[in-house]
Structure 1
């Protein structure tokens, strides 16, 4: 076990100890671990499963079900483009293709300079303002190529 993994394990254990008394602590613990590290580090699921007396499969099932949990650290900026039906009907697929081409990444990938992660999401609740995206946690509606270019320029600088 590497020092980094040991350090992660100690920090994950501390999060578990602090939150284990909550009713249904697994999701809050996973969120806290991701907040702490920017992702769910290797070995964290095993530590969480031991602390909560759950199988590793149960913990992995929850962590892999929710798309917001990552195994690798995201870029400095995260752009989530909605690909649900309302946004698709208003051109979101073209915007997504444009963003992927500009950033030279595919969905769920991070640029080589680690500045931007591009993700697909399925409904941000802005159907009336389609196409929509979330940029660093802030929702943006009525996107077009000019607006997505402006966003990409801002996060790339």
Structure 2
């Protein structure tokens, strides 16, 4: 068996060869990120390709994947911290810092761009006072780019906390965010 294949096989079985000890140590930690990692590892033990489900579980629980969660995940899956960090930074869905109370995802795909998406993106950055991959100063909104929401016939579009909005204009953008803030 090739070395790379053997490593992949070990990594796909959460808890394989020493991973159980890493999981137990993580479970006993008092740090919330390490404890969340331990729960995610426990839930996905033996699942082929467990890294992505574990990362999704940690982010679902904490809103992000803190640096403190990387080591126990790496140890449990027999991966290096760099390999786990590489996956976290490769996928734009994963975040390493907590998001704002609301997440605004503005579509950056071609159809939305052709229908005024750049104007919406510029307006969003100005209105929120932050760029993409950042959070407004008041902590209310995180601004993220997203590539195609499947609302091409109703461009430009965005998601706010997972709810789609289409046929955006700067005024409609402001109205939607106003409703979201009022509902807090």
TM-score (norm 2): 0.78
Q: Tell me whether 1:117 sits opposite 2:136 in the alignment.
A: no
Give 2:58's aligned residue. Answer: 33
Aligned positions of 1:97-136 closer than 5 A: 97-136=122-161
Comparing 36-45 with 71-80, which one deviates more in the overlay? 36-45
Higher relative contact order (CA 8 A, sep 6+): 1
Is there any run of 5+ residues in structure 2 with no aligned partner, and where? 1-28
Give 2:174's aligned residue. Answer: 149
Could you say what secondary structure the match of 1:43 adopts?
helix
Give 1:61's aligned residue. Answer: 86
Q: CA shift at 1:5, angstroms?
A: 7.1
Counterpart CA distance in 2 for 1:154 and 1:23 is 43
| Matched residue count | 154
Counterpart CA distance in 1 for 2:166 and 2:82 is 38
Is there any run of 5+ residues in structure 1 with no aligned partner, and where? none
1:79 to 101, 104, 114: 104
Counterpart CA distance in 2 for 1:7 and 1:129 is 42
1:89 to 114, 119, 122: 114
Could you say what secondary structure the match of 1:81 adopts?
strand
Counterpart CA distance in 2 for 1:63 and 1:103 is 26
Runs of 4+ in structure 1 displaced over 6 angstroms? none
C-alpha RMSD over aligned residues: 1.6
TM-score (norm 1): 0.90
* Structure of larger gyration radius: 2
Q: Is the 8 A contact 1:5 1:43 kept in 2?
A: no
